[in-house]
Structure 1
Amino acid sequence: MKKRITILKANITENKLLLETNEPVSGLVPGEQILVDSEQYSFIYLMEGQKDYSFIVLTEDIWPILKNAKVQEIPVWVTFKEEQTELINFHDELEYVISNIKGNSNYGNEMVAKVEGIF
């Protein structure tokens, strides 16, 4: 079963965007891919575990800080307590999904409006 990992807090510090999670991320490897959950208005960064994928859920409430990090080209890291893992290829993937969503009603009009309003 795929695990959804929630972001509790997002902040830029020491020239990194730190996405603090609600559970450990050790043993997970960045999947270097972002998916779209247009029903929950979120982006999903894939992490690969030994047996299955885990989803880092990036809800719309943190999109403004994602945009800020993207504009400044700040690396994105997922953290839990002392653990930190860089989300490799994050900005390229985010740019790709944003460009696919803009003006594309296949994602639903509300998702398109939310993405266009922030990005």
Structure 2
Amino acid sequence: MKQYKVSAIEVDEEASTVELEEEIDAQLAARLKPGKRVLVDSDQYAFIYILEDEEAFYAIRFEKNVWPALNEAHKLKTSYYVKLNEHTRLALVDMEEELVFLLENIRGNGNYGEAFEQAVNDAF
């Protein structure tokens, strides 16, 4: 699964724009659809939003360094859009709902590892 790291999140009252470290080429960007789910990488301290096309899945990695901005967007309950390249933005459908579910599930749940649970509690 190809992975793209989030470099920054521009938070606004209604919508937050997720910036990636590298652009996604226009042909792939045109095929991508929101996967409507968020996974957790508790070893590398990341929330991962899944994008997909007809052939594969792609990971948008929200690593610990962007959690303060992610928390700000979460508190405002904004919608999320990822900037795939200069001309293409894609809605991260169900991002907030998935994040709420995960945050509730992680609190007090040792299955994610104590260090990850503590990091999430500190950030959110």
Q: Structures share a fold, TM > 0.5?
A: yes
Matched residue type, 1:5 = Y
Q: 2:100 aligns with which of 82, 95, 106?
A: 95
Between stretches 10-19 and 99-108, larger displacement belongs to 10-19
- Is the counterpart of residue 110 in structure 1 residue 115 in structure 2? yes
1:27 aligned residue? 31
SS of corresponding position for 1:23: coil
1:60 aligned residue? 64
Matched residue type, 2:123 = I
Superposition deviation, residue 14 in structure 1? 7.3
Residues in 1 aligned to 2:54 and 2:23: alpha-carbon distance in whole angstroms: 17
Matched residue type, 1:50 = E
Superposition deviation, residue 19 in structure 1? 0.8
In structure 2, stretches of 5+ residues that fail to align are none
Mapped contact 2:7–2:66 kept (Cα < 8 A): no
Residues in 1 aligned to 2:99 and 2:17: alpha-carbon distance in whole angstroms: 16
1:5 aligned residue? 4
In structure 1, stretches of 5+ residues that fail to align are none
SS of corresponding position for 1:62: helix
Residues in 2 aligned to 1:15 and 1:100: alpha-carbon distance in whole angstroms: 26
1:45-95 Cα offsets, whole Å, 9 max, x none, are: 011122010000000111111111111121111002221001001110001
Residues in 1 aligned to 2:114 and 2:99: alpha-carbon distance in whole angstroms: 19
TM-score (norm 1): 0.92
Residues in 1 aligned to 2:92 and 2:51: alpha-carbon distance in whole angstroms: 9
Matched residue type, 1:83 = T
Superposition deviation, residue 99 in structure 1? 0.9
Superposition deviation, residue 41 in structure 1? 0.2
RMSD (Å), alpha carbons: 1.3
1:73 aligned residue? 77
TM-score (norm 2): 0.88
